[in-house]
Amino acid sequence: MAEATQKQPNPTASRPVRCIVKLGGAAITNKGELESIGVENLRSACAQLRQAMSHSGATEKVAGMDWSRRPGDPTDPVVDAEGLSEMEGLGLDTNFVVVHGAGSFGHFQASRSGVHKGGLQSTLVKAGFVATRISVTSLNQEIVRALAREGIPSVGMSPFACGWSTKQRNLESANASQIIQSLHVGFVPVLHGDAVLDELLDCTILSGDVIIRHLAQLLNPKYVVFLTDVHGVYDRPPSDPNAVLLREIEVDDTGSWSIVKPALKGSNKGVEISVAAHDTTGGMETKILEAAAIARLGVDVYITKVGTEHSLRALQGDTSSEDWLGTVIRSSK
């Protein structure tokens, strides 16, 4: 890991990455229904991403980049080739990376087969690996298309196909040179949690959160945004009426964290922190740990609810005002 990190070129010299965005599985899919996209949330997230990328903030002409047929669409897509060739650039700061979770895609296939446990000599695991990748890459395709319809030049990149692999579930090989090349020429890479090969277990699941941490380390973005289906991190399950939204968490050098805002009564040691009720990989503990690991790098992490004014402000990197609703996780230094 550390070696892989060092070997790769540093893209920040030429064009610093502004933001890595996690589209949480719970935020963009309908958790109760197999392979069902949360169409409105996904559309909103893509439109807000475009707004955050926009130089002027004004609504420019959208250069639609999904020229494929839609299911049930009787006519071929219309492409304004002349109009596009006359546009002087997109007017967008495209220096973003998108990573998404699986939600109701992939989880069913992975859990039925136990892909995360490994063991490819088992026919069930081998079949489940194939089935899981089919499901998560379907979702990736839909997200790339939704971004492209908003005029965001997005390119899907599957971690498995990129050659990313793990060793005992820890990221072992994760060359990002193609991601960096793509950013350099103005594309927005779209990665996802994936089934990958594991040096010891044969195979496992690599979560989107682990991918984000690795990319944050490599690309040193200005900030990282997690879009989820609740307003942020709570002191107990958000369904609990007494749940308190934690507004600011600080992480020190050792990885220990403390709640800065709000001031909670008593010790925070016993706080049952909760981000999203429905996580397909790792759950809330992993998510907090990954977010804390990113904050330790000196990169602010904003966790907030998809499809709200707060998510737009997070994507714009502006969470300083008092009325912003979400959780900021940052380094105490």
Question: Under rule CB under 8 A, how many of the chain's residues touch its own copies?
Answer: 66
| Strand, helix or coil for residue 316 | coil
* CA-based nearest residue to 99, from 224, 274, 278, 205: 224
Please identify, using beta-carbon distances, which residue of 78 and 263 lies nearer to its own copies.
78
Window 129-158: contact mask with its own copies (x via CB under 8 A): xxx-xxx-xx--x--xx--x--x-xxxxxx
| Strand, helix or coil for residue 226 | strand
Compute CA distances 291 → 37, 258, 300, whole Å.
25, 13, 9
Q: Give the binding range for its own copies (CB under 8 A) out of 88-96, 208-216, 236-244, 272-280.
A: 88-96
Residue 69 interacting with its own copies (CB under 8 A)? yes
Query: CB of residue 287 vs its own copies: minimum separation in angstroms?
Result: 26
Q: Return the structure tokens found at 234.
A: 């709570």
Compute CA distances 134 → 58, 128, 141, 207, whole Å.
38, 10, 10, 16
156 is in an annotated binding site: no
Q: Give the binding range for its own copies (CB under 8 A) out of 114-122, 234-242, 250-258, 302-310.
A: 114-122
Sites for its own copies among residues 11-50 (CB under 8 A)? 34-35
Which residue among 1, 124, 200, 264 contacts its own copies (CB under 8 A)? 124
The CA-based diameter of the chain, rounded to the nearest angstrom, is 65
- Three-state SS letters, 195-252: EEEECCCEEEEECHHHHHHHHHHHHCCCEEEEEECCCCCECCCCCCCCCCECCEEEEC
Question: How many whole angstroms from its chain centre is CA 287?
Answer: 11
Residue 182 interacting with its own copies (CB under 8 A)? yes
* Cβ neighbour number for residue 289 with a 10 Å cutoff: 16
Please identify, using beta-carbon distances, which residue of 184 and 222 lies nearer to its own copies.
184
Sites for its own copies among residues 212-251 (CB under 8 A)? none
Residue 175 interacting with its own copies (CB under 8 A)? yes
Contact 121, 301 (CB under 8 A): no
Contact 143, 42 (CB under 8 A): yes
208 is in an annotated binding site: yes
| Strand, helix or coil for residue 115 | helix
The CA distance from 297 to 21, in Å, is: 16
202 is in an annotated binding site: no
229 is in an annotated binding site: yes
Please identify, using beta-carbon distances, which residue of 129 and 302 lies nearer to its own copies.
129
Residue 55 interacting with its own copies (CB under 8 A)? no
Residue 254 interacting with its own copies (CB under 8 A)? no
Residue numbers in the known binding site for substrate are 102, 107, 208
Residues of this chain that bind its own copies (CB under 8 A): 34-35, 63-69, 71, 76, 79, 81, 84-85, 87-90, 108-109, 112-113, 120-124, 126-131, 133-135, 137-138, 141, 144-145, 148, 151, 153-158, 160-163, 165, 175, 177-178, 181-182, 185-187, 197, 202-203
